[in-house]
A and B are shown apart, each in its own frame.
Chain A
Amino acid sequence: MKPLLEVRALTIDVPKGEGWMRVVDGVDFSIGAGERVALVGESGSGKSMTARALMRLDDALRIGGAIRFAGEEVLGCTEAEMRALRGSGIGMVFQDPMASLDPFMRVGDQVAEVLRIRGVGRAEAHARAVAILAELGVRDAASRSGAYPHEFSGGMRQRVVLAMALVAGPKLLVADEPTTALDARIQQQVLDLIDDAAADRGLGVLLITHNLGIVAGFADRVLVMYSGRIVEEGPVEQIFAAPAHPYTRGLIAAVPRADMRVDRLPPIDGAPPSPARRPSGCAFHPRCPVRLPVCVMTAPQLRPSGGGSVACHLAAAEEAMA
C-alpha cells in the first residue's frame, strides 16, 4: 500500500543575502494512513521548515526533492490546487493559536470560513463549525461560537485552531509545537483532543516538537532531526529503549523526570548549530561525546538499524562488529 505522505530527498533553501542558505538537507520519510509520526528536533534543526514546505506556506523558500501526498506531487501543484489541498488534504495547527486566528472575527465564523471558501452554504457551514467545536470540548458551542478569540483561554483557542484544521476533513494533521506555550494539564488536554480526533477519523498525524517527553505517549514512530537532516528514525519503543544515535541518547537523558528522582542530569554540551555555520562531516560531531576521527570529515548516511535507521559512523561500526 502506498503511504499517505511520501517525502523524498527534500531540500529547503531560504534566501540569505545574495544567495541561499540550506536549512533542510536531504530528508526522507513517509507517513501511512492513520499513522502518528513525531518529528523531534531543536531550534534551527529545520523541523518547522519541513512542515511549512509540506503545505507550501512560504513562497520565499526554494524547495527541492519530492513531496507526494495521496499519490499527488505537491511541488507540482498550482496555487489553486494547493488551496484545495490545505485543509481538505492536510490540516495544520501551529504553536501560537493567536497568530492563526483573526482577532476581529467571531471564532465560529473563522471555522465556518474554511468550509465557505469551499462552496459550502452559510447555514450548513455554521452548523458544522458549531458541531466540531462542541466535539472538541467547547461547551455551549452554539453561543460561544459568537465569541472573539480574546475571550478564550490559550487552551480554548487551540481547540478553535484545531477545529479549523479538521473541519474540512483532512487525511493528515500537521501539528507544529501545538502545546509548547501551554501548562502541563492543558498540554495533555490538547494532545488528548488530537488523539481522539485522529483516532475517530483515522487521521495520520505529524507532530513536530522539541520535547521528547510528550512524544512517548503519542507517536507510533519518531524521526529525530538535527541540523537539517534526519539522524535517527524508528518505532517509538525502540527510540526510547535502545536509541542508536548519541544525539537521541543525549536528548532522552536530558529530560528531567517528574515521576522519579534523578541524581544527575547529563546535558548535551554546546548548542545546536545555526544553519549558517553547519559543522563539517556529521553536524553533531562538535557536541558528540563518542565521536570518531571520521565524523569530522564525512557525513554518515542513514542506514537500517533494528526496526528503524540511524546516521552514525560509530553505530555503523558497532553493527558491523556484531
Chain B
Amino acid sequence: MTGLAVTDLCKSYPAAGGGRREVLKGVSLRIDKGECVGLIGESGSGKSTLIRCALGLEKPDSGRVDYEGSFVHEATGPDLLLFRREVQIVFQDPFASLNPRMTVEELVGEGLLVHRIEPSRARRRACVAELLGRVGLEADAMHRYPRAFSGGQRQRIAIARALAVSPRILVCDEPVSALDVSVQAQVINLLADMRSALGLGILFVAHDIGVVRYLCDSVLVLAEGRVVEEGPTETVFGDPQHDYTRALMAAAPVPDPAEAKARRALRRQQREAARGSEP
C-alpha cells in the first residue's frame, strides 16, 4: 500500500437550525506516488472539508485516512511526523498563506528546521537556493519578503516551501485560481514538471475543468458531499455520464466565439421557453 487513501469518509457539522448538516457522505479516493488526481467541486461541495480530513487537520465522523499503511487520525510520534512531512499542501491564496514578516529564506527553509532535516544554517541556505532555482526563481530572492513578489512568484515560493521537506504527496487547493491567466499556465506546468521529476503524487483540487483536464490523469467529481463520477480524465470529460458533470462542462467558458455564441443563443431560447411556460 503506497500513497494516501481516503476511505468512506463521512463528516457532519452542527446545522444552524439544530440537527447536523452532512458535508461528506462517504467519500473515497486514493493518490499514489507519481500520480495526479483531480478533484472537481463547486463551493459547498465539501472539497475543503475533504482536504482538511485528508490532511488529518479534522477528525471525520466515520471512515478513515491511511498513509503508508497507518491510520492518519490515530498516528502519533514518528508516524505522525512522517505524515506531516511527506504530505504537504499548497493553498489557493499566496497572499494569505505566506507570513509577510518572514523572508523567503525563512519561509522556504522553515520545514528543514522544524523537521530537523538541516540544522546547519549555511547548508539550509544552500538547500533554499537550490529549491528556488527548481521553481524558477533567482537565489537572491531569498533575502526578500513576500510583498516584493507577484502572485505567480508567491505561488512558486509556496511550492518551494512545500517541496523543501521532500514530500511524497502534494495537496493543491485551488492553487492557480487567484492568479492571472497568463501566469496560471506557468504554475500548472511547474507542478507537472515537479511531478515527473520527483515522482510526486498530486491531489489537485479545483473548480476549473480546463486546468484539471490539462494536468490530471484521473478525476473525481464531488457534489453535495458525494463523488458522483470518477475515472480517467479523458473518459470522464470526453464522455461525461452524470448530469452534474455534464452541467459543469456546459458551464465552462469556451474560447471560441462561434461555438460560445451558439451555446448562448440556445440557452436564451431555453430560458424564453421556460418563461413562456410559467403560469
Contacts from A to B (Cβ < 8 Å): 42-43, 154, 183-185, 187-188, 192, 195-196, 210-214, 216-218, 236-237, 240-241, 250-252, 254-259, 261-262, 265-269, 271-272
Cβ contacts under 8 Å, A251 to chain B: 181-182
Per DSSP, are chain B's interface residues mostly helix, strand or loop, or mixed? Answer: helix
Chain B, range 118-146, C-beta contacts under 8 Å to A: none
User: Is there contact, CB below 8 Å, between A237 and B257?
Assistant: yes
Cβ contacts under 8 Å, A269 to chain B: 186
Pick the residue among A236, A255, A267 that contacts B186 (CB under 8 A).
A267
Pick the residue among A185, A195, A218, A257 that contacts B251 (CB under 8 A).
A185
Asked, given contacts A217-B264, A257-B210, A258-B210, whether A185 binds B254 with beta carbons under 8 Å apart, the answer is no
Most buried by B among A213, A252, A266: A213
1/0 contact string of B237-260 vs chain A (CB within 8 Å): 110000000011101111111111
Query: What would 16 more interface pairs be, CB under 8 Å, given A217-B264, A256-B185, A259-B249?
Result: A184-B207, A188-B251, A188-B253, A210-B180, A212-B255, A214-B253, A216-B260, A255-B255, A256-B188, A257-B213, A257-B254, A258-B209, A258-B213, A261-B238, A265-B188, A268-B183
Cβ contacts under 8 Å, A214 to chain B: 253
Closest Cβ of chain A to B202, distance in Å, is: 16
Closest Cβ of chain A to B11, distance in Å, is: 21
User: Is there contact, CB below 8 Å, between B181 and A211?
Assistant: yes
Contacts from B to A (Cβ < 8 Å): 42-43, 150-153, 180-186, 188-189, 207-211, 213-214, 234, 237-238, 247-249, 251-261, 263-264, 267-268, 271
Cβ contacts under 8 Å, B207 to chain A: 183-184
User: Is there contact, CB below 8 Å, between A271 and B152?
Assistant: yes
User: Is there contact, CB below 8 Å, between A255 and B150?
Assistant: no
Closest Cβ of chain B to A39, distance in Å, is: 15
22 A-B Cβ contacts within 8 A? A185-B42, A195-B268, A210-B181, A212-B181, A212-B255, A214-B253, A216-B253, A216-B260, A218-B260, A218-B264, A241-B257, A256-B185, A256-B188, A256-B210, A258-B210, A258-B253, A262-B213, A265-B185, A267-B183, A267-B184, A271-B150, A272-B182
